[in-house]
A = this chain, B = another copy of it.
Amino acid sequence: MTKNTATLLISCPDRKGLVAGIADFLYRHNANILHADQHQDSELGLFLMRVEWDLHDFALTPEQFAQLFAPIAEKFEMQWRLALSTHRPRVAIFVSRYDHCLVDLLYRHQAGELHCDIPLIIGNHDDTRWIADSYGIPFQHIPVHKDSKEEAEKTQLALLRHHHVDLIVLARYMQVLSADFIRHYPSRIINIHHSFLPAFLGAKPYHRAFERGVKLIGATSHYVTEMLDDGPIIEQDVARISHRDAIDDLIQKGRDLEKIVLSRGVRWHIENRILLYANKTVVFD
């Protein structure tokens, strides 16, 4: 049974009466609240909220909601967004040769863990086409070379527009996107970095972790910004290693981390659980 709910995400200056105002509005229009969570950042004087309600008895269409909620939003200087569970976001996956994150995402999608549509996989190599095929998802091979990068990004952007893509997932995509490309999808590109950021940002993090002799390796999913590996962190996890682990073992153990950390980030984004502020994320559970 598909659920039929609305999720409201709000961020605004913290003030008395906010919760009462919102709760009262929802109650008056007959919302049955399923989850509500909020966070105050006392230092920044910021109020952040996520509230989800059943649409069964709810009196308003999204358009009516927008109209009637506007005065409250204005009064409290809110940034807000309403998301319906019936709207499945459209996700494009970018991939290179490493296929573990791609396989993991497609399996989770097919198993019903990710409530989204995946209209498009873009690979700068052709190696993972067979995986896309086995899940029946269109695969586009767009090679990227030093000289052709601008051209390639144009092709990619055209495809993304054509497929009305809402979110781009870099599933171990081994190319750095241009600032121009990123500006088209602000806070809508999720990357997996194979280290515990901010340690080992940039290239070959497992090799550098091995050299430094750390006792845990990590993975980080984050939104992509123009600064490499510096965007808001969504999720991180670590695994224990020992002197018995060679670089190949780190890479193998890391794959399991990468899969889990990326898929959590994607799921939380899709479920509208993430709010951004001050280059950080609030993840409402």
Instruction: Let me know if A280 is at the binding interface, CB within 8 A.
Output: yes
- Residues facing B in A23-70 (CB within 8 A) are 23-24, 26-28, 30-40, 42-43
Residues of B within 8 A of A218 (CB): 196, 216
| Complex contact A244–B285 (CB within 8 A) | yes
Assign chain A's interface to a size class: 35 or more
Q: How many copies of this chain? A: 4
- Residues facing B in A227-243 (CB within 8 A) are 232-238, 242-243
At the interface with chain B, which of A14-22, A157-165, A175-183, A185-193?
A14-22
Prevailing SS type, chain A contact patch: mixed
Instruction: Let me know if A103 is at the binding interface, CB within 8 A.
Output: yes
| Complex contact A36–B19 (CB within 8 A) | yes
Shortest Cβ gap from A59 to chain B (Å): 12
Residues of B within 8 A of A27 (CB): 16-17, 19-21
Shortest Cβ gap from A110 to chain B (Å): 9
Given contacts A23-B23, A281-B213, contact A198 B200 (CB under 8 A): yes
| Residue of chain B at shortest CB distance from A232 | B213
| Complex contact B35–A36 (CB within 8 A) | no
Instruction: Let me know if A113 is at the binding interface, CB within 8 A.
Output: yes
Contact among B212, B244, B282 with A39 in the assembled complex (CB-CB below 8 Å): B244
Shortest Cβ gap from A10 to chain B (Å): 14
| Residue of chain B at shortest CB distance from A25 | B20
Residues of B within 8 A of A199 (CB): 196-199
Contact among B31, B111, B282 with A243 in the assembled complex (CB-CB below 8 Å): B282
| Residue of chain B at shortest CB distance from A57 | B16
Shortest Cβ gap from A202 to chain B (Å): 13
Please encode chain A, from 121 to 161, with 1 for each CB lying within 8 Å of some chain B CB and 0 for all others.
00000000000001000000000000000000000000000
Instruction: Let me know if A279 is at the binding interface, CB within 8 A.
Output: yes
Instruction: Let me know if A72 is at the binding interface, CB within 8 A.
Output: no
Residues of B within 8 A of A233 (CB): 212-215
Given contacts A113-B252, A260-B256, A285-B244, contact A19 B23 (CB under 8 A): yes
Q: 17 A-B pairs, CB-CB below 8 angstroms?
A: A19-B23, A19-B33, A20-B20, A20-B24, A23-B23, A34-B42, A35-B38, A35-B40, A36-B36, A36-B38, A103-B107, A212-B279, A215-B234, A216-B236, A242-B283, A242-B285, A243-B283
Binding site for B on A (CB under 8 A): 16-24, 26-28, 30-40, 42-43, 99-100, 103, 107, 111, 113, 134, 196-200, 212-216, 218, 232-238, 242-244, 246, 252, 256, 260, 278-283, 285
Q: Which 4 A-B pairs have the closest CB atoms?
A: A213-B280, A20-B27, A199-B199, A20-B23
